[in-house]
A and B are shown apart, each in its own frame.
Chain A
Amino acid sequence: MSTGKLFMFEVLGLPYVLILFFLIATLYSSVGHGGASGYLALFAILGVASSTSAPAALVLNVFVAVINFYNYYRAGFFPAKLFFSFAVTSIPSAFLGGFVHPSVRTYQLLLGAALLFASARMLIAPALKPVGDSQPSQYMWLYGGLIGCVLGFIFRNGWHRRRYLPESDSFTGRLS
């Protein structure tokens, strides 16, 4: 672990680290996300080994996503017809997408560009119309297939090929 990362952890201390995790979870869950990319970024800053941080971030992601789903479902914001219209093709496509193995840098550039494009759409575009009970597009199966491919690509590559993350167990040692 680099001196800079060690310094950052020593300066922050455990209570502040936990507050940062709390803030990430709050921000991401307010928009229905689990927060995996935020946790991974924080783990990387703290110098947690990638072999430890990847599965941990995934578990944190699921905990938050389950809570999100429960609260949004209870509040009436889960259009099941829309979900199943693309889930049918996205799940098998996710499996296939995992067979594409680019370099780590190519993976980062592709995913980063896609996220920034989506971000620009959210920040610049006028207010999106609520989908509500409207009929899903007839092309949802196609969108689902594409989304599934991308997800498989991200999960199989993103979670297993993060070799560039620093390797250290100091953070987990401090927690236990």
Chain B
Amino acid sequence: MKHTAGVSSASIVVNSLSGILGHVLRGNMHLFPFIPVIIVVIAGGLLGSLIGSHKASERLLQRLLGVVLLLAGGKMLLGG
């Protein structure tokens, strides 16, 4: 699971950057109001990835990923 997390994070960076480029080219990128959110998300990302890559067991990560996918899938099926 930790190798999966490493590979998926690299894939997300590559694919998200192409999406951001599309928004930037259309001039649809106004981030200033979101600076507080960006700061707390960076802090959360640091904490979560350190826990995931160092502390958590493979089995725990598998269950956590299952819960995350369940939340995201349920949200989609219920209409976003």
Contact = CB atoms under 8 A, between A and B. Distances in A.
Contacts of B78: 112
Given A59-B38, A115-B76, A51 B28 contact: yes
Interface string B3-20: 111111111111111111
Contact of B13 (A69, A108, A122, A127): A69
B40 to A, nearest CB: 4
B31 A79 contact: no
A172 B38 CA distance: 13
Could you say which of B5, B12, B48 has the most chain A C-beta atoms within 10 Å of its C-beta? B48
A95 to B, nearest CB: 8
Contact of A60 (B4, B41, B48, B66): B41
A67 B45 contact: yes
A155 B64 CA distance: 24
B77 A116 contact: yes
B4 A27 contact: no
A30 B49 contact: yes
Given A52-B30, A123-B70, A25 B40 contact: yes
A116 B69 contact: yes
- Majority-rule SS of B interface residues: helix
Given A62-B16, A68-B5, A75 B54 contact: yes
A16 to B, nearest CB: 11
A130 B12 CA distance: 20
Most chain-A Cβ atoms within 10 A of its Cβ — which of B45, B58, B66, B73? B45
A127 B68 contact: no
A31 interface: yes
Interface of A is mostly: helix
Contact of B20 (A59, A69, A128): A59
A111 B76 CA distance: 7
Contact of B77 (A36, A66, A113): A113
Interface of B: 1-20, 22-23, 28-38, 40-54, 56, 58-59, 61-80
Given A28-B68, A58-B20, 9 more contacts: A23-B44, A30-B49, A67-B45, A72-B2, A75-B54, A94-B18, A159-B22, A175-B36, A176-B32
19 contacts: A19-B40, A22-B40, A24-B41, A26-B44, A28-B48, A29-B48, A31-B68, A32-B4, A55-B23, A59-B20, A60-B34, A67-B42, A71-B53, A77-B5, A83-B11, A112-B77, A130-B3, A164-B79, A176-B32
